[in-house]
Amino acid sequence: MCRLAAYLGSPIPLGRIIVEPAHSLLDQSQHATEAKLAVNGDGFGFAWYDDDPEPGLYRDVLPAWSDGNLPSLCRMVRSRLFLAHVRASTTGETSRVNCHPFVHEGWSFMHNGQVGDFASIRRPLEAKLTDSLYMARRGSTDSELLFLLLLTHGLKDDPHAAILAVLDLLRAHSVYGAGRDAVRLTCVFSDGKTIYAFRHASDDRCPTLYVQATKEGGWTLASEPLDGDASKWAEVPTETLITLSHGKQHHLPLAHTDGTERPAAA
């Protein structure tokens, strides 16, 4: 499983999240405490927003701790909103195109978890993509395909509805079991203005995610508390879409409000 972090608020150097804290994302790349694997060394990356609607993107196949450029970049690059990720691969080889975050037309996306039985269901899921988004696919991970499916199902207009549609697709095509066949999704994504996140699993074993408010009305998200003190962070609830904007946090359940089952997607 991977580790990830995100920030929204007053512009800060990326290092305040990625490098400097006692249990920073860089530290989590070697010493994760709430994951199946303590080491996440199959590449890393970060996407950050400034005045341009398209985010900047830096990704590499090196383990985060072995890239000598990372501390300097994180010290000098400042941003009001950024996503960062260290990878422990479950599907797809170690290559730059398979490293997170993924970006497309102003959106950035990263994922921690797995899609069960992905090799068997990859082709029918790819067939659900629009032609243009199918052509935009560069790697071979379940994560990138999730991102493109969300875009196909209207992420830009209604993130909540897009998530529900993609979860229905997974229920229709995946084994949806436990263990190796489990669907486990902790996803964080942004349009450069707002951060969205949700946790979902077929076996009640969602990868972790915590949120903390900043003093200036912003937000920090992380797979594990960056200061190592979970009492100062709130766990992001499962089966819920959370939306973070300046000074605001909004929750929507990932189910029909009347409690009825969602129909399987065709």
Q: Which residues contact 198 (CB under 8 A, 6 or more apart)?
A: 163, 185, 186, 187, 236, 239, 240, 241, 242, 254
The secondary structure of the chain in percent helix, strand, coil, rounded to multiples of 5, reads 25, 30, 45
Give the distance, in angstroms, between the CA of residue 61 and the centroid of all CA atoms in the same chain: 18
Q: Which residues contact 52 (CB under 8 A, 6 or more apart)?
A: none
Query: Which residue of the set 2, 74, 99, 206 is catalytic?
Result: 2
Q: Which residues contact 195 (CB under 8 A, 6 or more apart)?
A: 6, 8, 81, 83, 188, 189, 219, 221, 243, 244, 245
User: Would you say 159 and 241 are in contact if contact means Cβ atoms under 8 Å apart?
Assistant: yes
Helices and strands, number each (H, E), in the chain? 7, 13
Structure tokens at 5: 């972090």
206 labelled catalytic: no
> Measuring CA to CA, which residue among 116, 61, 84 is closest to residue 13?
84
∠ CA 116-125-58 to the nearest 5 degrees?
80
Q: Which residues are catalytic?
A: 2
